[in-house]
Structures are given as structure tokens and as C-alpha cells.
Amino acid sequence: MGYAFVLDIPAAWDTYLGIAEVLGAPAPEGLVIHVAGPTEEGFRMIGIWDSRETWDCFLADRLHGILDGLTRDSRIRPTYRELEIAHLLPGRLDEDLG
């Protein structure tokens, strides 16, 4: 049914904006939806991918180096949680969210 994860990173929201800028557009192949926002501890990213394999490929080819650079020589330790998709209810994305 796909693959999902939640990633909490104890870093400033500006750090996320920098990551997003480096990655740029368009969305990577296999990405179903990506959401992110600031939290009290830093920022959270939630991703849903069409498969674990497409996520692993994106992580290895593009994101891993960025996250390694972020955490190298720092106390930033992302918390990564896999989420088994047991139920998915697609809805209509309101354009006011973007």
C-alpha cells in the first residue's frame, strides 16, 4: 500500500527551508505527498511514497547527503519513525493550505 514516515528534526524552521531550496522542484518520482511544519522542538516532515524502494532511492541519491551535512559535528539528531499504512483515505487538498 505504499510507505510512510515521520521525521522530527530538532533544528530551526529556516534549516528546513534551506533543505527544501536545495532539493528544489519538481517532486521526486514516487512521492505521493510531503508535508512539513515547525514544531516546539524544531520541525517535522511527513512523507508518503508509493513504495519503500522509491523512498530508499531518494534518500540515498539526494536527501542522505543533505541530512548528513546537517547533523555532522552537531547535536542535531533526527528522530525517524516508519509508519505502516494500514488505512489511507485520500481527500481533496484545499488550495488555501499551500
pLDDT at 30: 94
3 phi, psi to nearest 5 deg:
-140, 140
Domains and CATH numbers, the chain: 3-86 (3.30.70.100)
| Residuewise pLDDT in 10s, the chain (98 residues) | 689 999 999 989 998 998 888 888 889 999 999 999 999 999 999 999 999 999 999 989 888 887 777 666 667 778 889 988 888 888 876 665 55
Please indicate, yes or no, whether the overall pTM of this predicted structure exceeds 0.85.
no
pLDDT at 22: 83
pLDDT at 98: 55
Residues 6+ apart with CB under 8 A from 97: none
Three-state SS for the chain is CCEEEEEEECCCHHHHHHHHHHHCCCCCCCEEEEEEEECCCCEEEEEEECCHHHHHHHHHHHHHHHHHHHHCCCCCCCEEEEECCCCCCCCCCCHHHC
pLDDT at 74: 66
pLDDT at 48: 95
Cα 18-97-28 angle, rounded to 5 deg: 50
pLDDT at 87: 86
pLDDT at 70: 66
